[in-house]
Amino acid sequence: MTSQLHTVVDIAQVSSNRKRGGDIRVLLGPATVSATSGFQGVVLLEPGEQVREHYHPYSEEFLFLFEGEVEVDLDGVAHALRPNQAIFVPIDVRHRVRNTGPRLARLVFHLSPLAPRPELGHVDTEPLS
């Protein structure tokens, strides 16, 4: 048995990060549950909205779409996702997520392993707003 404290995190408890576009919320990670191996969260994209292109030099990313329609560009190649589909983004692969449907898109993401320092986790390849 473990004596580790278990924490339930609600989406309303975490701040929205809109730096790269969309509404990105890290639910489980170092800051919320003291995770040491990766982090997990949700992306909410309104119609026409996108998460700008970037890559992760230390982490693989797993994306699962549970509502809406998106295209995930991997190194410039578009991959359509429909609800209940997932895609794997390897380390160093440039990627962008675009809502191509008429309603809100909801995705779950997980990145692992963690970068040595948080500021090294993302490399932006497009201007941020």
Domain annotation for the chain: domains and CATH numbers: 16-124 (2.60.120.10)
44-73 average pLDDT score: 98
pLDDT value of residue 1: 39
User: pLDDT at residue 127 above 70?
Assistant: yes
Percent of the chain predicted with pLDDT > 70? 95
User: pLDDT at residue 122 above 70?
Assistant: yes
Least confident of 4-8, 71-75, 77-81: 4-8
Confidence of residue 73 (pLDDT cuts 50, 70, 90): very high
The closest alpha carbon to 23, from 33, 32, 14, 35, belongs to 14
pTM assigned to the model: 0.92
73-80 average pLDDT score: 98
The closest alpha carbon to 102, from 53, 46, 54, 50, belongs to 46
Confidence of residue 51 (pLDDT cuts 50, 70, 90): very high
87-114 average pLDDT score: 98
Higher pLDDT pick, 58 / 2: 58
Distance set, CA 51 to CA 6, 35, 109, 129 (Å)? 31, 24, 12, 11
